[in-house]
């Protein structure tokens, strides 16, 4: 398996992977929504506000994840939020997702990112170091529909501490449907 940071010329492959994965797990409507989110993330986000990581085998994408910048108005730490992440349906449950996220988080740490956030199933994301945080500790850009899915981790030697908001996200995520 080959790990790649910010692959070039793979935009359509990435969109297709997310569309197929989310259509299989949550239906065609969600597949289309996430595919459009990824298209916007890849085309609208300034280069310094996005990190894309992939694992591939023999030229085919097995998994991919996207991190985009979250800006906290009263906090000078560098924060990125993970989402979405996908592993192709035929290869799920084989450790690919965790391998991808571990490697991606290591790259972010080496790049000087202070904090990673995500919004999803705590049972899954705790496997790669995320822990539940409250909206008081880390304000989200929108009121969360599922506050128990708001998760964070420090990527530095400093332990987790509250992030001072308000926060803002990149344009692709600037829609309450994602929160
Ligand atoms: C979620 C996803 C990325 C995980 O990747 P994966 O390669 O299948 O996961 P891994 O093999 O690394 O990890 C498997 C472990 O996570 C658990 N797991 C997998 N998907 C899970 C989910 N959606 N919720 C909770 N736990 C999950 C498995 O039970 C397994 O646990 P174990 O190690 O204790 O046996 C992948 O299943 C996927 O693409 N799902 C559809 C899209 C999605 O839901 N994305 C996440 C929201 S953005």
Give the pLDDT score at 119: 98
| Beta bridge partner(s), residue 151 | 118, 132
Locate 65 and state its tokens: 């994840």
- For 115-140, how does the pLDDT look when each residue is reduced to its tens digit (9 = 90+)? 999 999 999 999 999 999 999 999 99
Measured between alpha carbons, how far is 146 from 151 in angstroms, rounded to an integer? 11
**Can you tell me which atom of ligand 1 is nearest the CA of 85?**
48
Q: What is the pLDDT of residue 108?
A: 98
The 3-class secondary structure across 68-124, one letter per residue, is EEEEECCCCCCEEEEEEEEECHHHCCCCHHHHHHHHHHHHHHHCCCCEEEEECCHHH
The predicted-structure confidence for 38-60, as pLDDT tens digits, reads as follows 999 999 999 999 999 999 999 99
Q: Report the atom number in ligand 1 closest to the C-alpha of 92.
A: 8
Q: What is the CATH number of domain 2-178?
A: 3.40.630.30
Number of Cβ within a 10 Å radius of residue 143: 10
- Give residue 145's pLDDT: 98
Tell me which of 33, 86, 97, 102 to substitute to probe ligand 1's pocket, judged by most ligand atoms within 8 Å of the beta carbon.
97
**Tokens 């987790």 belong to residue:** 160
Residue nearest (by alpha carbon) to ligand 1 atom 20: 124
Instruction: State the pLDDT confidence band at 73, using cuts at 50, 70 and 90.
Output: very high
Query: Exposure of 110 by Cβ count < 10 A (0-12 exposed, 13-18 middle, 19+ buried)?
Result: exposed
Q: What is the pLDDT of residues 1-41, one digit of tens each?
A: 999 999 999 999 999 999 999 999 999 999 999 999 999 99
Q: Which residues line ligand 1 (CB under 6 A)?
A: 21-22, 25, 83-87, 92-98, 120-121, 123-124
| Apex 89 CA angle, 84 and 90, nearest 5 | 145
78 phi, psi to nearest 5 deg: -90, 125
Kindly state the average pLDDT of the residues 135-147.
98
59: Cα within 13 Å, side-chain hemisphere: 0
Distance CA 27, CA 44 (A): 26
- What's the mean per-residue pLDDT of the chain? 97
Task: Specify the pLDDT at position 34.
Answer: 98
Domain locations in the chain? 2-178
Q: What is the pTM of this model?
A: 0.96
């Amino acid at each position: 398996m080959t790990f790649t940071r910010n692959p070039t010329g793979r935009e359509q492959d990435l969109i297709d992977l997310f569309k197929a994965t989310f259509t299989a797990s949550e239906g065609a409507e969600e597949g289309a929504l996430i595919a459009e989110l990824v298209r916007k993330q890849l085309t609208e986000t300034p280069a310094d506000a996005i990190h894309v990581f992939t694992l591939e085998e023999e030229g085919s994408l097995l998994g991919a994840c996207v991190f985009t910048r979250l800006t906290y108005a009263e906090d000078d730490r560098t924060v990125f939020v993970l989402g979405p992440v996908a592993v192709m349906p035929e290869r799920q449950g084989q450790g690919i997702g965790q391998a991808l996220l571990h490697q991606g988080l290591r790259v972010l740490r080496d790049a000087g990112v202070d904090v990673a956030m995500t919004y999803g199933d705590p049972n899954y994301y705790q496997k790669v170091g995320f822990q539940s945080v409250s909206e008081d500790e880390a304000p989200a850009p929108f009121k969360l529909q599922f506050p128990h899915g708001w998760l964070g981790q420090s990527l530095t030697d400093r332990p987790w501490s509250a992030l001072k908001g308000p926060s803002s996200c990149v344009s692709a995520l600037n829609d309450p449907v994602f929160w």
